[in-house]
Amino acid sequence: MTTPQTIENVTTPSSGGFSYRGSLVVTTLVTCLGMFIDVVPDKTIDYVAPASLVLVALFVAAKTAPRNFMAAVWGPVLAWFVALVTIGQVARPSAGSGKERELVLIVHGLADHAWWVLGATAASTLVVVIRRIR
């Protein structure tokens, strides 16, 4: 007799941390929420979205299961891009064609906040390395 297959939970009880998918989902959802809070009032990306990215990256890096550490490293970059392409549309410039506005949003959103994204990635990588050493 075989055991029935179940859908993988966000956290796996055996490892005591976020799964790979769970790490990416939590990082992306919290970053999108921060982007929403940041963009809706004045249609600009200020400090709430990048700060939420750094905080969630550190949290997820500390809570990810040891076998899924790479999700904590890749998560901030992917989460920022997803938040920028989805919720960040509110902050899109108004001049130019649709393709030009989209290109400016992505390039400006990545370039203007590169230190936040790289800092979140570096901080989560540092947490992963420290956890792996211990």
pLDDT (0 to 100) of residue 112: 92
Does 101 reside within a domain? yes
- How far are the Cα atoms of 72, 82, 94 from residue 24, in angstroms, in the given order? 7, 11, 31
Does 98 reside within a domain? yes
- Structural domain total, the chain: 1
Does 122 reside within a domain? yes
Does 36 reside within a domain? yes
Does 89 reside within a domain? yes
Q: Supply the mean pLDDT for the chain.
A: 88
pLDDT in tens, 55-67: 999 999 999 998 9
Task: Tell me the mean pLDDT in the region 106-130.
Answer: 94
Does 2 reside within a domain? no
Global confidence as pTM: 0.83
pLDDT in tens, 78-102: 999 999 999 988 888 787 888 888 8
Domain assignment of residue 23, given as a range: 17-133
Does 41 reside within a domain? yes
